[in-house]
Amino acid sequence: MSDSKFKNPIVAWIDYRLPVFSFMEHELHEYPTPKNLNYFWNFGSLAGIILVIMIVTGIVLAMHYTAHTAYAFDSIERIMRDVNYGWLIRYVHMNGASAFFIVVFIHIFRGMYFGSYKSPREILWILGVVILLIMMATAFLGYVLPWGQMSFWGATVITNLFSAIPVVGDSIVTLLWGGFSVDNPTLNRFFSLHYLLPFVLVGIIVLHIVALHQHGSNNPIGIDTKSPQDTIPFHPYYTVKDLFGLGVFLVLFFGFVFFAPNFLGHPDNYIEANPLVTPPHIVPEWYFLPFYAILRSFTADALIYLPISWLMSAKLAGVLAMFASIMVLFILPWLDHSPVRSARFRPLYKQFFWLLVIDCIILGICGAKPAEEPWTYISQAATAYYFLHFIVILPLLGFFEKTKPLPTSISEPVLKGGGGLSSAASAKPMEKA
Amino acid sequence: MRKSLISVVAAVAVLSSSGTMAAGDAVKPPKQEWSFSGLFGTFDRGALQRGFQVYNEVCAACHSVRLLAYRNLMDIGFTEDHVKKIAAAKEVTDGPNDEGEMFQRPARPSDRFVKPFPNEEAARAGNNGAYPPDLTLMTKARVGGADYVHALLSGYKEPPKEKKLAEGMSYNLYFAGNQIAMAPPLSEGAVEYADKTKATVSQMAHDVTTFLAWAAEPELEWRKRMGVKVILFLLILTGLLYGVKRKVWSDLH
């Protein structure tokens, strides 16, 4: 035990029996991280922190919430009015969902821009897509719980989608509802699943991090770290950088929580659910709008539906397209087979990447608009382009794009940019003095 | 058969399109100056108390605010004795007592506001088939919020000649479809303010909307006060963290 790397005898004693401190030392301090990560690499740890905030506030909310159609709406209002700091906990949870999606969307687009899904990080990426799917399910289930008008009608619209599945569709919908309409059994099972899924999420995030630490982070240049000079220990460099990023995030986040807590919500959800009154426009939360636009763009007369109209109904086509818009991400590492990771060295891909970002924003706007001209045409075109990007453009780019020459190492451009050889010249690993 | 189907579909299409047309007729509510808007906004206590008076003497005949309790009125500056008096003016059903009977008693501050109608059916029966919605969350539950509620209350006009209103309906500039079942609720001098404020329609609409905004968000002042402190704290903390980050990274650059 005398050879333990820990000076504190208690720490050394514990670590000899349960190596938690060695594990933390290895994964946080020794863990070599490329030294050129930019601020877009903050969003992974930020997403993890938001998940913790969501779980903590969610557990407290569940102590006061009543999952029954007759009491759910009023129990939320009781939390807002009579529970100590209830309004704060609920507004943090409510806006936390939006923050989670903003952060995760940026995290995903960062992965796309810098080619973080490419070998050897395919499984890391796939686990990320699984995380996105579970997040979306969790958010949808959670939005139903306050039992407002949008909760009820959103649940009705989304669960009804499954009826488009041939043969078993109606049985699946009945199973989801626990009856023949969205009612008390639906609310109860949604609450149960909403409490369960975040913990499933935690498990998959652990795998996501294990896969990440196997080969370490990608970096803005997208080439592998070659020598110890290319890397710095995660702690203290990235812990402090992540903390600063967290500070900036919290300023913006609490700006919403305290000064515009309902900005991202829909007024109709402050009207208690009423199965007899349909809201004029049923819209999902903002983070689902692009997917909602893809779903609605498959109308009976849509050009994108014609080629498959002999095969299935427009409704089923829309449902499949909506799921396919995420499923396509699973095979992204193989659709984009260019050997160069970072868009910095892929002049054409860089332009198509930004086109995709604009396309997703257009889809989001279309999803918020009523299903009428010109929005249906626009969302049909945007949907077509979304799939064109992944299925046609990316594979072709891999063949025809002329990429720029890659630097030989991460340190090289840093040396060129900075004056002199200074610290990077020494061959020993970067270590905090 | 086919013809009739087509005509039904066409009729539905015409109806739904005219429905959306009518909904489009509603005018966007003009922006008002509210004491509670902005980063440091607080509820104007005078407006709140006058607004409660308008609610109590006018709106409460048809509309409930079921999420409020009488004790909440102490938050807007009424004394405990005053709140007891306000509550005691209403009767609530309590029980069962020792004999197993339900009984009526005067309301207490701990009771929720007594509803004007025992249930939706009774409310509809008393209002020409229309259901006066609960007002507790009204400023949060409508696009436009307080501006919309104020505009609606003061937006009654003579209908244009070509507009045919259904029996018992009124014309309102700001209501979706312009046809509203609520008769103009406010008229000049409908209440007599204790503080001698002149009870114009616009004044009463402004006061009662302030009261309803408080009813919807009673935590608003607390929230904004805490928000200012939290944001200031976070700005300083983030600034310090930036300094630490610069310091830690200084040996790399």
Quick: pLDDT tens for B206-218.
Answer: 999 999 999 999 9
For residue B39, the chain A residue with the least C-alpha distance is: A259
With tokens 């959670």, the residue in question is A142
Rounded Cα gap, residues A164 and A58, in angstroms: 33
Q: Are B49 and B136 found together in one domain?
A: yes
The pLDDT tens digits for A351-389 are: 999 999 999 999 999 999 998 889 999 999 999 999 999
With respect to residue B4, please indicate whether it lies within any of the assigned structural domains.
Answer: no
pLDDT of residue A418: 43
With respect to residue B149, please indicate whether it lies within any of the assigned structural domains.
Answer: yes
Q: Are B153 and B209 found together in one domain?
A: yes
Q: Which of B86, B89, B90 is nearest to B78 (CA)?
A: B86
Q: Are B145 and B236 found together in one domain?
A: no
- Count H helices and E strands in chain B, helices first: 7, 4
With respect to residue B32, please indicate whether it lies within any of the assigned structural domains.
Answer: no
How many domains are contained in chain B?
A: 2
Q: Are B234 and B183 found together in one domain?
A: no
Inter-chain touch B252–A267, beta carbons under 8 Å: no
Collapsed DSSP state (helix, strand, coil) of residue B253: coil
Q: Are B148 and B183 found together in one domain?
A: yes
Which pLDDT band, with edges at 50, 70 and 90, does B25 fall under?
low
With respect to residue B100, please indicate whether it lies within any of the assigned structural domains.
Answer: no
For residue A35, the chain B residue with the least C-alpha distance is: B252
* Residue B54, token pair as written in the block: 């308008």
Inter-chain touch A251–B238, beta carbons under 8 Å: yes
Q: Are B166 and B64 found together in one domain?
A: yes
Cα torsion through B191, B192, B197, B198, rounded to 10? 70
The pLDDT tens digits for A39-79 are: 999 999 999 999 999 999 999 999 999 999 999 999 999 99
With respect to residue B184, please indicate whether it lies within any of the assigned structural domains.
Answer: yes
Q: 0.95 exceeded by the pTM?
A: no
Chain B interface residues facing chain A, Cβ-Cβ under 8 Å? 20, 23, 39, 67, 72, 133, 136-137, 140-143, 145, 176, 216, 218-219, 223-224, 226-228, 230-231, 234-235, 237-238, 241-242, 244-245, 248-249, 251-253
Q: Are B193 and B232 found together in one domain?
A: no
Q: Which of B190, B187, B147 is nearest to B170 (CA)?
A: B187
* Active site (annotated) includes residue A401: no
* Residue A417, token pair as written in the block: 């940019």
pLDDT of residue A3: 65
Beta bridge partners of A34: A231
| Cβ–Cβ contact A74 with B under 8 A | yes
Q: Are B159 and B243 found together in one domain?
A: no
* Active site (annotated) includes residue A77: no
Q: Which of A152, A188, A217 is nearest to A66 (CA)?
A: A188
| Cβ–Cβ contact A271 with B under 8 A | yes
With respect to residue B171, please indicate whether it lies within any of the assigned structural domains.
Answer: yes
Range of the domain at B232: 220-247
Sequential DSSP letters for B168-209: T-EEBTTSTTSEESS-----TTSS--TT-----HHHHHHHHH
Compute CA distances A236 → A10, A371, A431, B244, whole Å. Answer: 24, 51, 10, 10
Q: Are B61 and B181 found together in one domain?
A: yes
Rounded Cα gap, residues A225 and A340, in angstroms: 15
Q: Are B144 and B49 found together in one domain?
A: yes
Q: Are B129 and B182 found together in one domain?
A: yes
| 8-state DSSP, B103 | E
A residues 232-251 closer than 8 Å to B (CB): 232, 236-237, 240-241, 243-244, 247-248, 250-251
CATH of the domain at B185: 1.10.760.10
Q: Identify the active-site residue in A15, A268, A285, A336.
A: A285
Residue A420, pLDDT > 80, answer: no
Element (H, E) at B91: strand B91-94
With respect to residue B164, please indicate whether it lies within any of the assigned structural domains.
Answer: yes
Q: Are B170 and B133 found together in one domain?
A: yes
Inter-chain touch A87–B230, beta carbons under 8 Å: no
Residues contacting residue A2 through CB under 8 Å, at least 6 positions apart: none
Inter-chain touch A237–B142, beta carbons under 8 Å: no
CA angle at A287 for the pair A286 and A293, rounded to the nearest 5°: 75
- Residue burial A203-222, b: 16+ Cβ < 10 Å; e: rest: eebeebbebbeeebbbbbbb
pLDDT of residue A284: 95
With respect to residue B9, please indicate whether it lies within any of the assigned structural domains.
Answer: no
